[in-house]
């Protein structure tokens, strides 16, 4: 089991941008699912975006066209570029990884993740 460490959260005004990073270490294998989830106060954790090792991505409907997920193989780092942020995007954002092959392609967003980072806070003010 590896380790995931998020960074890049912060406070921005509506319409602003942030880029989250998730450094992955200790994992082996070239086939994987990785995702970003978020959890707002009093809400359940929800999947935001996922990426499969072949580059296939998937997004939750409310972030399509605003968020972009990517993975840098050389740096073993997952990113989430968030543009045109809205107050409803306020949440703790977590990255998750699965190197066990339990999902693929667009289904990575729904994989049964066991490995999670500790999260990074994103706050968007109106």
What pLDDT was estimated at residue 101?
A: 87
Residue length of the chain: 126
Model pLDDT, residue 29: 86
pLDDT at 31: 93
Instruction: Give the pLDDT score at 93.
Output: 98
Measured CA to CA in angstroms, residue 65 lies from 4, 58, 62, 107, 123 at distances of: 26, 11, 9, 19, 20
Question: How confident is the model at residue 117, as a pLDDT?
Answer: 98
* pLDDT under 50: residue ranges of the chain: none
Quick one: pLDDT at residue 116? 97
């Amino acid at each position: 089991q590896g380790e995931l460490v998020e960074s890049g959260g912060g406070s921005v005004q509506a319409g602003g941008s942030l880029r989250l990073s998730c450094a992955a270490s200790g994992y082996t294998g070239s086939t994987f699912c990785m995702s970003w989830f978020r959890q707002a106060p009093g809400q359940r954790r929800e999947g935001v975006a996922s990426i499969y090792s072949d580059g296939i991505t998937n997004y939750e409907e409310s972030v399509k066209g605003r968020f972009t997920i990517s993975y840098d193989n050389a740096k073993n780092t997952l990113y989430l570029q968030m543009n045109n942020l809205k107050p409803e995007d306020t949440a703790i954002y977590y990255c998750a990884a699965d190197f066990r092959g339990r999902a693929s392609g667009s289904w990575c967003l729904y994989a049964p993740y066991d490995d999670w980072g500790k999260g990074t806070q994103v706050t968007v003010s109106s």
